Structure 1
Amino acid sequence: MPIPYLPFTDAELFNGVNLVLPAWGLLLVAPRWRYTQHFVTATALAFAAFYIATIIPQLTSGGLDFGELFSYDGVVKAFSTKSVVLSAWLHYVALDLWTGNWEVVDAQKRGISHLCVVPCVALTFLFGPTGLLAYFLVRYSTGSKRKVQ
């Protein structure tokens, strides 16, 4: 069990990560709804807390050797542990959601059409950094010069 005192396996917790999907849906179809930002932020922070809850037991038990994490073989070794895979996935889920949210908010502040941002957010959901790069390409290709406060 990756989180002490919780009776769930890594696989069961991994399946729970799908609870992030409504937040992505709101970013895509209802970015200006008054509750979207609150819901997405709360979801990202909840997954960040979930990540911390899964990584702390590994850090305190010596399950992760940070010296090894600076080598390819060390990362492969660390990711061969199911609980590390769960923690890594939570890491990606939380940061990708936060990035997708930032793209939507930044585009709104700059007056960029949401239709231009939807593909970027979808790419961020599916391929993380690819969506971020796509957003910056959209941002600069639209000639958005509006000052952001």
Structure 2
Amino acid sequence: METFFKYLNTFPMPLWLAMMFAPNHSLTERASRSSSVLGIAAAHYVLAIINAVRQDQSSGSEAKLDIMSLEGVRSGLSSPQGALAGWAHMLALDLFTGAWIFRQCHRFNAPTWVRIPALAFTLMTGPFGLMIFLLWYGRSFGEALPIDA
């Protein structure tokens, strides 16, 4: 499980680094739009959640998967398998969000001082990086980003 965790952390790093430091390279643009790259990140989560559910069932626990209560979520994430599934979930969605931010930065010619912090904070803290980009967009264009952008 530790090996899978290390792999999960390593897998998206080339794309993150490319989006931050090689934004004009054709491979960066293609990878940021790649359903394969983003799909693999999603598949990592699927594998991790299946493993967590299997482990929970094989442990003889009577507890049912409960995502509708704080205690249920805490309980689900308290095992190594549950924590790994939660981490894979965050990595996949942060990568998806980061790729979207990258493409929007290209689309709206966002300066480097916006793109790099927005991506770095998305990598490290998820929604905070998204907020940085959205605040820049709102201040620059005086409106909310259209949903279909």
Smaller-chain TM-score bracket? 0.7 to 0.9
- Distance 1:99-1:52 versus aligned 2 partners, 3 A rule: same
| Residue of structure 1 in register with 2:25 after alignment | 33
- CA shift for structure 1 position 111: 2.6
Q: TM-score, normalised by structure 1?
A: 0.80
- CA distance in 2 between counterparts of 1:81 and 1:60 reads 12
- CA shift for structure 1 position 110: 1.9
In structure 1, give the amino acid aligned to 2:43: A
Range with bigger deviation, 77-86 or 138-147: 138-147
- CA shift for structure 1 position 119: 0.8
| Residue of structure 1 in register with 2:133 after alignment | 135
The SS at the match of 2:26 is coil
Say if 2:49 and 2:82, in contact at 8 Å, map to a contact too. yes
Q: How does 1:51-66 map to 2 (within 5 A)?
A: 51-59=45-53, 63=57, 65-66=64-65
- CA distance in 1 between counterparts of 2:43 and 2:85 reads 11
Q: TM-score, normalised by structure 2?
A: 0.80
- Distance 1:60-1:13 versus aligned 2 partners, 3 A rule: closer
- CA distance in 1 between counterparts of 2:135 and 2:64 reads 38
2:43 to 26, 38, 49: 49
Say if 2:51 and 2:81, in contact at 8 Å, map to a contact too. no
- CA distance in 1 between counterparts of 2:53 and 2:86 reads 13
- CA distance in 2 between counterparts of 1:60 and 1:11 reads 17
| Residue of structure 1 in register with 2:83 after alignment | 85
Runs of 4+ deviating beyond 6 Å: 144-149
In structure 2, give the amino acid aligned to 1:54: A
Structure 1: any 5+ residue segments left out of the alignment?
A: 1-9
- CA distance in 1 between counterparts of 2:142 and 2:39 reads 30
- CA distance in 1 between counterparts of 2:52 and 2:87 reads 15
* Seq. identity, %: 24
- CA distance in 1 between counterparts of 2:140 and 2:79 reads 44
- CA distance in 2 between counterparts of 1:119 and 1:47 reads 22
RMSD: 2.5
- Distance 1:113-1:128 versus aligned 2 partners, 3 A rule: same
- CA distance in 2 between counterparts of 1:104 and 1:38 reads 12
Say if 1:111 and 1:144, in contact at 8 Å, map to a contact too. no
- CA distance in 2 between counterparts of 1:131 and 1:86 reads 22
